[in-house]
Amino acid sequence: MSLSAPAIRARKRSRGDAPIVMLTAYDEPSARYADAAGVDILLVGDSVANVVMGQADTLHVSLDEMAHHVAAVAAAHPRAHIVADMPWLSYHVGAHEAVRSGAQLVRAGAQSVKLEGGHQRREVVRALLDAEIPVMGHLGLTPQSVLAFGGFKVQAKSHDAASLLVQDAVGLQDEGVYAIVIEGVPARVGTEVTAALAIPTIGIGAGPDTDGQVLVFHDLLGMTSRPPARFVRQYAQLGAAITEAIGRYAADVRAGSFPSPAESYPSPEEPA
Ligand code: KIV
């Protein structure tokens, strides 16, 4: 039985619970590896646009593309909870369309959806919850706001902006979201918003005090072309390991040493 949204909602470090571990996954192998490592939540993030599709921002992934990746992650049948990002424009033009978008992601295999924004999203959150779709919020440096923010910039740096973020978080909690991702804010804001909520916060670049942490699969494993952001800890350099392994394959092919007789099928007349 996989971890449910209500079970995640109940987890709070201030009540003695262990921190929540969340990681992005975009296909069956990444979901299988992450689940085997014991992560709690697999996020089919719209960061697929960056790390899989090579785009500069997350505005370039469609709902159908997200559903395709959700289905691949769900094929791993993980114990972890699967939450799917609602991509840009799938919930911005009205609650009715947002419910249809959320339903498409649920039918593809998601157990909940995540959307970005605070007070301006309350009606949409209510509509999704009315349709029995659990919702995770996302505040702070919300990547779908990159054009409005004028770049990927740390948010809530002033006292007033931090207060507005906390107000938005409390509003989303009152509406019924089960957890909120807090991204790209000073660590003290991560601490403050976590203390203000009864539901868990999951941080990415929000300091050590949130109720959980989330990282992007390719960032954690050293598979990106850009230098990692300040908040990323790389636990492996798989990009270099992949290039090295493929280089050895290419050298073997060019040297004529691959495939060997043991890697070739004998004809029926020949001894195996
Ligand atoms: O899409 C994503 O990877 C995300 C994380 C940054 C939280 O939303």
**Residue 219 burial by CB count (10 A; 0-12/13-18/19+): exposed, middle or buried?**
buried
Residue with CA at minimum distance from ligand 1 atom 2: 45
**E strand residue ranges, 132-270:** 135-140, 179-183, 201-204, 212-215
**Residue 97 burial by CB count (10 A; 0-12/13-18/19+): exposed, middle or buried?**
middle
Residue with CA at minimum distance from ligand 1 atom 4: 45
Structure tokens belonging to residue 26 = 């975009």
Pocket flag, ligand 1, residue 210 (CB < 6 Å): no
CA of 44 to the centre of ligand 1 (A): 8
What are φ and ψ of residue 140, in 5° steps? 100, -130
Pocket flag, ligand 1, residue 211 (CB < 6 Å): no
Out of 116, 175, 183, 192, pick the active-site residue: 183
> Which run of H or E residues covers position 41?
strand 41-44
So what's the pLDDT on residue 18? 98
Residue with CA at minimum distance from ligand 1 atom 8: 45
Cis peptide before 134 (omega within 30 of 0): no
CA of 58 to the centre of ligand 1 (A): 9
Angle at 56 between CA 235 and CA 117, to 5 degrees: 85
Ligand 1 atom closest to Cα of 24? Answer: 3
Pocket flag, ligand 1, residue 85 (CB < 6 Å): yes
Q: How far is CA 150 from CA 49, 142, 146, 164, in A?
A: 19, 12, 6, 19
Three-class SS state of 186: coil
Could you read off the pLDDT tens digit of each residue along the chain, which spans 272 residues?
789 999 999 999 999 999 999 999 999 999 999 999 999 999 999 999 999 999 999 999 999 999 999 999 999 999 999 999 999 999 999 999 999 999 999 999 999 999 999 999 999 999 999 999 999 999 999 999 999 999 999 999 999 999 999 999 999 999 999 999 999 999 999 999 999 999 999 999 999 999 999 999 999 999 998 899 999 999 999 999 999 999 999 999 999 999 999 999 999 887 66
CA of 45 to the centre of ligand 1 (A): 5
Pocket flag, ligand 1, residue 175 (CB < 6 Å): no
CA of 130 to the centre of ligand 1 (A): 25
- 183 annotated active-site: yes
Q: What does CATH list as the number for 5-255?
A: 3.20.20.60
